[in-house]
Amino acid sequence: MARLNHSTLRRLQNLPQIPSVWEGDRRPMATDTNPSIDADSEAPGECIIWVDGSQGMVRAMDMVPTDMGPEAIVRTLLRAMEHPQSPAPVARPQKIVVKDREIQFFLRGVLQDLEIVIEYVPDLPLIDEIFRGLQEVAESRPPQLPLQYAEIVTEKAYQIWKDAPWERLGEHQIISIELNLFGIDTLYISTLGKLGMDYGVLMYRSLDSLKRFRERVVKNKSYDNLEEAFLTQDCLFVTFDREDDLDEDEDEDDFINLASLPLSEIQPNFGNLHPLEGLRSILYDEEAAVVLVALEALHRFLRDNSQKLVRYQFPSLNRRYRIPINLPDGEKKQVSVKVETLPDIADELAAMTSDDESEDEELEVEVPRLRDDLVPPKSFLSLGVVPWETAKYLRSNTQFHQAAEGEIPEVGDGLPVVVIQTSKPKAELLIRSLQEAGGLEGICFNPGEDPMAGRNYDLGILKTEDGDLHLFGEFIEDDPVHQEARKKWEQRCKKTKGWCGLIIAMGLTGASRGQPQFKDMMALLEVRSIPSQELGLGPLQLIPAPF
């Protein structure tokens, strides 16, 4: 049994002892029963509580995992003595009563030098009353969505997740939805997800609120200021997270791109932000009805303009729809909505960021330079897949193998790979260069454009462990062959949880050109597929060389 050290014991002995009886207990309960308790909300636990029975007040309360030992109840007790949460004096009690024999014997052993009587009682009426109150609060708390709308609004949210508007829209590219419903004339839609971190749809009630928030985010760099700016927003929102109970065994620091997860692991969350109300993770009837109409309108608009809303293009578009809805009072109504893009607003918001970047230019961290001296010129490049059996063979039968840092799930038709085929001497030089750079960190595709030719490119980039970025290919973005290859690449990477490979092969000028055989494959590097947002380069522009 652990004992209090001498300095702690002397400090507690110096506390004034008051003639009161404290009750203590630990009981199982859901962590969201009391939102004021600082605890891990991902799993149920136990609540430890210490109350002053004489004064009828709570002195300390904690949520702990169910499997945490009896030491936890002592830690909470010491806090109740030295740092009570209620406006009570620092003190130690004359008597403690508990209804658990095991806790009683443990406390007797630990607190034996503090002159506190520790007794067992069959009932703790004050704590019973407190827990009844907590349970009533939990049971009376409204659901995240009203029952009338819960199923259909959740269904529409999953529909938006499948639409993935963030793949085509930046956060500054705003879509307005005019609906004239429950006092809301127009919602201004901004999507989250371009960076591959937070995914969602923000529905601002006013354009001024959206602009003010963007302006404050750009100008205020400190965390405190950003938090204040966050709470000044006036919007409804839908965000997407991973199901809470699916990542218990994973490191909290592990980054997982939600886009790589199956739909069954995605959970939509709904809420409201207002400067006077703050953050509320609950939608009431009228709000849920508005969100329902907005999500359906956004879905139809994305569906009808799928060919026009492509990357880096945000033309002026508008559509009108009539959306059926059951109002909270039971009335059935057809809501007329107008959905349109706001390219002028997008330019204005983008200018805020560019102006700030020019002001802070001297303070910015240097962006890694994109080099084009790693991959040999005139190499044959291709995107494809190797069956899992082939991948297993290559891991032990190539000149160089860089193993994945984690386990690659063997799902789908195989490992998605980039193949670089060149001559044997150049392949050996490429392998050696990668080794000298510490290995390969990942493979990425980033947008590029040639303003003079009016052509967009999909740039293949290798990121080495030393932080350098290396161009390995320039693919014409609207080439149907490349589009199909990229589509399959993304689908396969999603199945492998973001894992892919680089194969370096020889035989460029031989009979196996474009179709390297096992004997031609000299290296396999298994790495992550890096989202372009993670590199933070943005669209790269070809700058003509000066004469």
Model pLDDT for residues 453-475, shown as the tens digit of each residue: 778 888 999 999 888 899 998 88
Average pLDDT over residues 36-43: 35
CB 342 within 8 A of CB 318: no
CB 301 within 8 A of CB 339: yes
Residue with more model confidence, 230 or 519:
519
Write down the pLDDT at residue 477.
Answer: 82
Q: Which two tokens stand for residue 129?
A: 């009353």
- Confidence class for position 543, pLDDT limits 50, 70, 90: low
What distance in Å separates the CA atoms of residue 30 and residue 44, rounded to the nearest whole number? 5
Q: Which residues of 442-470 are buried (b: 16+ CB within 10 A; e: fewer)?
A: bbbbbbbbeeeeeebbbbbbbbbeeebbb
Average pLDDT over residues 421-431: 90
What distance in Å separates the CA atoms of residue 182 and residue 287, rounded to the nearest whole number? 8
Residue with tokens 């790979």: 417
Alpha-carbon distances of 363 from 49, 357, 366, 408, rounded to whole Å:
50, 9, 9, 40
Residue with more model confidence, 292 or 132:
292
Average pLDDT over residues 287-315: 89
What distance in Å separates the CA atoms of residue 120 and residue 102, rounded to the nearest whole number? 10
CB 70 within 8 A of CB 103: yes
Write down the pLDDT at residue 300.
Answer: 96
Q: What percent of the chain has pLDDT over 70?
A: 86
Residue with more model confidence, 335 or 515:
335
Of 418, 521, 425, 505, give the one whose Cα is nearest residue 462.
418
Asked if residue 425 has pLDDT above 50, the reply is yes
Asked if residue 347 has pLDDT above 80, the reply is yes
CB 298 within 8 A of CB 164: no
Q: Which two tokens stand for residue 457?
A: 């490119």
In 3-state terms the chain splits into helix, strand, coil percentages (rounded to 5) of 35, 30, 35
Handedness of CA 170, 176, 182, 183 (dihedral sign): positive
Handedness of CA 192, 193, 199, 200 (dihedral sign): positive
Of 154, 473, 164, give the one whose Cα is nearest residue 292.
154
Question: Residue 486: what residue type?
Answer: R
Asked if residue 174 has pLDDT above 90, the reply is yes
Query: How many residues in the chain?
Result: 547
Task: Provide the total of helices (H) and of strands (E) in the chain, helices listed first.
Answer: 13, 23
Task: Dump pLDDT digits (tens) for 149-168.
Answer: 999 999 999 999 999 998 88
Write down the pLDDT at residue 355.
Answer: 57
